[in-house]
Amino acid sequence: MRGLPLGAQAYIGSVVVLSGVLIALGPLDDIDFIAVVSIAILFFIAEEVRTPLGKPAAAISPSLSVALASVVLTGPIGAALVHVLAALSNRHRPMVKAVFNVAQGALSAYAAGTVYLYLGGEIGVPDIRSFPWILVPFAAAAVTYALVNGVLVILVIWLTTGVRPFSLNTIRWQPLIALELASLGYGMLGLFAAVLWAIVGPFSVVLLLLPLLIAKWTLDQCLEQQRAYDATVATLCQAVETKDYYTRGHCMRVSQGSVLLAKEIGMRADRVEAIKMAGMLHDVGKLGVPTRVLQKPGALTEEEYAAIQLHPMRGYDIVREIGFLHEALAGIMHHHERMDGRGYPMGLAGKEIPEFARAIAVADAFDSMTSTRSYRNARSIDEAVAELRRSAGSHFDTAMVDAFIKAIRREGWELPDIPQVPDIGIEVTQQDHDDPSTPIRVAGEPGR
């Protein structure tokens, strides 16, 4: 409590006192205490089963359905008591947070219960004859619960951190609506759990929660696997690069750059995930280019240049068996195409080039230019941006270049460390196929 702003202290205090007073004042005689205790236990279990849905810290929790079931079964005071009892075993949060959380939950439940009664809802186990009219007070109770809960929480965040949780124009409606619908769904389950109470008592909620517990456990495993997967792909890509001192970390940075760009042009979340992989894997085919070619100091012969031109196809060959990568595959195969059709391997032009490939090409070239090479020092971000702009339209997609520049101006760009190359006995690459400012020299041709 100490260390919090004065306003926050007063606010938290009054919420706690208010909920205490309401419970103490309310008629306690006709509450079914056995029901309250068993619901409290279920509420506690449900609270543990918070189900993370997607990235934004949106966690919907089936405890809402239990809270609303308690409103129907035991009325406003009983529902408030359920929150208090369930919190007795809470061990996760610091004291102040826990106490406030209980108090705001109790208040929300009390408000929901009052609305439910006011609109003609009856306390106790509903039977089939209460349908469908019981839905009106119940839905009102569900909405009240969510509203009171939301307002109380937003206020406490605002008062303790000074951050306004959201303003109307930055709020993302789509996930919010999805979240609210999911909550309403859970709320409805609460009503039906209450109905089922008629035949099997608290066992009904156990039956409802078990599948959700298993879902939660499975989703945890998904997250764990996803993390393992990301780490494994990143490691393997870096392993491919270890041989070349100058390009280490290239795949990670291209992946990050592609993701920045993808987000900037408003790609859907699953496509962003795919382009992250594509950026990471875009150069795996480079291993197929003989080291001798990469390390050759002078101009390349036609054959040697052909070997370099083959690497996107090699990369495609390696990763094409990975099922989910459909769109990413096109990005890997075509990341060296040019808008004017003079790129490789297929010589596609303009919008024929897949969107992923146009995006990756920009991030790829940018990282190459801002990294140190054996034949030149790293260019500054401004120089690289100027070079991108100069090649926009002929080499790169102008829209992509603009979006990329906008994104890195806002988010910043982490430059790679200058590589420490041991002086003796190490042969290093002499040309970089990704570098648009220093095209590869091919014998008998004026640069590409």
Partner 1 sequence: MNRSSAPRWALQRIDTGTLLLAAAALVVVAVSLSATAMAGLRDPATAFGFGVLVAVGELTRMTLPGNREVAPISSAGALGYTFVLTVAGVPAVHSATQVISVCALATLLGALPHLVVNRGPHLDAVARRLLVVALVAVVYRPFLEWARPLEHHVWVAIAAMAVLATLVWLADCVIAAGLRADALRARFGVTVRDELRAQAPIGVAVATSGVLLALSASVMGLIALVVFSAPLLVTHVAFRRYAEIRLTYAQTVRALSRVTEVGGYVENGHSRRVSQLAVMVGRDLGLREAELLDLEYAALMHDIGQLSLPRPIPGGATVLAAREEQVRIAELGASVIQQTGVLDRVAEMVRRQSDPAAGRAEDGPPPLGSRIIKAANAFDDLVGGSRDRDRAAAVIERLRLDSRCEYDPRVIEALERVHDRPPRRV
With a CB cutoff of 8 Å and minimum separation 6, the contacts of 116 are: 71, 72, 76, 137, 138, 140, 141
Among positions 78-137, residues that touch partner 1 (CB under 8 A) are 127-128, 131
Least distance (Å) from partner 1 to the CB of residue 114?
Answer: 26
Contact between 161 and partner 1 by CB under 8 A: the answer reads no
Going 185 to 188 to 194 to 195, the CA torsion angle's sign is negative
Spatial contact of 436 and 369, defined as CB atoms under 8 Å apart: yes
Q: Which lies closer to partner 1 via its Cβ, residue 216 or residue 253? A: 216
Q: Which lies closer to partner 1 via its Cβ, residue 154 or residue 215? A: 215
Strand-pairing partners, residue 373, are 376
Q: Which lies closer to partner 1 via its Cβ, residue 17 or residue 222? A: 222
Q: Which lies closer to partner 1 via its Cβ, residue 197 or residue 396? A: 197
Contact between 317 and partner 1 by CB under 8 A: the answer reads yes
Cis peptide before 202 (omega within 30 of 0): no
Closest CA to 109 of 157, 166, 40, 59: 40
Least distance (Å) from partner 1 to the CB of residue 195?
Answer: 5
Q: Which lies closer to partner 1 via its Cβ, residue 25 or residue 128? A: 128
The helix (H) or strand (E) run that includes residue 139 is: helix 135-161
Contact between 314 and partner 1 by CB under 8 A: the answer reads yes
The amino acid present at 147, given as its one-letter code, is L
Contact between 284 and partner 1 by CB under 8 A: the answer reads yes
Question: Which of 35, 69, 77, 195 lies at the binding interface for partner 1 (CB under 8 A)?
Answer: 195
Q: Give the Cα separation of 322 and 302 in Å (integer).
A: 33
* DSSP string over 205-258: HHHHHHHHHHHHHHHHHHHHHHHHHHHHHHHHHHHHHTT-GGGTTHHHHHHHHH
Q: Give the Cα separation of 34 and 54 in Å (integer).
A: 37
Contact between 418 and partner 1 by CB under 8 A: the answer reads no
Question: Which of 14, 89, 161, 232 lies at the binding interface for partner 1 (CB under 8 A)?
Answer: 232
Cis peptide before 345 (omega within 30 of 0): yes
Q: Which lies closer to partner 1 via its Cβ, residue 157 or residue 213? A: 213
Q: Which lies closer to partner 1 via its Cβ, residue 7 or residue 290? A: 290
Contact between 420 and partner 1 by CB under 8 A: the answer reads no
Write the CA distances from 407 to 33, 178, 265, 404, integer angstroms.
Answer: 58, 28, 9, 5
- Which range binds partner 1 by CB under 8 A, 137-145, 232-240, 372-380, 405-413? 232-240
Write the CA distances from 180 to 23, 25, 52, 142, 313, integer angstroms.
Answer: 28, 32, 14, 11, 46
Spatial contact of 42 and 66, defined as CB atoms under 8 Å apart: yes
Contact between 320 and partner 1 by CB under 8 A: the answer reads yes
Q: Reduced to 3 states, what is the DSSP secondary structure of residue 51?
A: strand
- Which range binds partner 1 by CB under 8 A, 12-20, 35-43, 172-180, 228-236? 228-236
Spatial contact of 68 and 138, defined as CB atoms under 8 Å apart: yes
With a CB cutoff of 8 Å and minimum separation 6, the contacts of 2 are: none
Q: Which lies closer to partner 1 via its Cβ, residue 288 or residue 439? A: 288
Least distance (Å) from partner 1 to the CB of residue 15?
Answer: 32
Question: Which of 167, 242, 377, 420 lies at the binding interface for partner 1 (CB under 8 A)?
Answer: 242
Question: Which of 31, 58, 153, 188 lies at the binding interface for partner 1 (CB under 8 A)?
Answer: 188
Contact between 229 and partner 1 by CB under 8 A: the answer reads yes
Least distance (Å) from partner 1 to the CB of residue 379?
Answer: 29
Cβ-count burial 409-418 (b if 16+ within 10 Å, e if not): eeeebeebee
Least distance (Å) from partner 1 to the CB of residue 186?
Answer: 9
Q: Which lies closer to partner 1 via its Cβ, residue 317 or residue 402? A: 317
Binding mask 197-226 for partner 1 (x = CB under 8 A): -xxx--xx--xxxxxx-xxxxxx-xx--xx
Q: Give the Cα separation of 147 and 155 in Å (integer).
A: 12
The amino acid present at 202, given as its one-letter code, is P
Least distance (Å) from partner 1 to the CB of residue 32?
Answer: 19
- Which range binds partner 1 by CB under 8 A, 30-38, 189-197, 392-400, 437-445? 189-197
- Which range binds partner 1 by CB under 8 A, 227-235, 298-306, 368-376, 439-447? 227-235
Q: Which residues bind partner 1 (CB under 8 A)?
A: 51, 127-128, 131, 185, 188-189, 192, 195-196, 198-200, 203-204, 207-212, 214-219, 221-222, 225-229, 231-236, 238-240, 242-243, 284-285, 287-288, 290-291, 314, 317-324, 427
